Amino acid sequence: MRQLPSEKSLDAVDRLVASYTLKSGTCTHPGPTVTESVKLGLAEHKDKLNKLLCPCRFYPDKGEEVTHRTWICPCDDMQVYKYCHCLLFFTEQGLPITEYLPSYHEGRETYGEVKDPTPDKGRPLKHRADAREDERLSRPS
C-alpha cells in the first residue's frame, strides 16, 4: 500500500499551485480527481527527491532527472509554451493552452489551437521557444 505524502509536502504543492495559477493566468483541471492525483504525485516526489518533479513522465533515474530542472514543476514546457503535460494547469473552459506549441506537437493535434486567455501572464521562458525549434530542425533525421 502506498504511503501518503507528508502534510508539509502537500502544503508546499498547494502553495505552488495557488501561486502559479495566479502568476500564469491559468486554473487547475476542472476534474478534481485529476488535480488531486497530480498534486499527490508532486508531493510524493517532494518527499522522496526534495523537488517537485513532474509525476506524469517516466524517468529511468529520477535522481538524475532532478539535476536538469526540465521537468521540475512548473516545467520548462509550461514556462516556454504555457502547456501542462500533467493536465494540472488549464483555461477556465477546462482546456490546455496550445496556442504557443509548435504545429507538430501532440497537444495541438489532440486539442487543436486553444488560445491563451491571459497572454500577458506566464511564459517567463518564452524566448526559448525559437531556440528549441532551431535545435529540433538541426538534428539529423
The residues annotated as belonging to the active site are 56
**Cell digits of residue 37:** 492525483
Q: How far apart are CA 78 and CA 26, in angstroms?
A: 11
Q: Are 128 and 80 in contact (CB under 8 A)?
A: yes
* Distance in angstroms (rounded) separating the CA atoms of residues 141 and 132: 16
- The residues near 62 (Cβ < 8 Å, ≥ 6 apart) are 45, 48, 49, 53
Paired sense of beta strands 89-90 and 27-28, if any? antiparallel
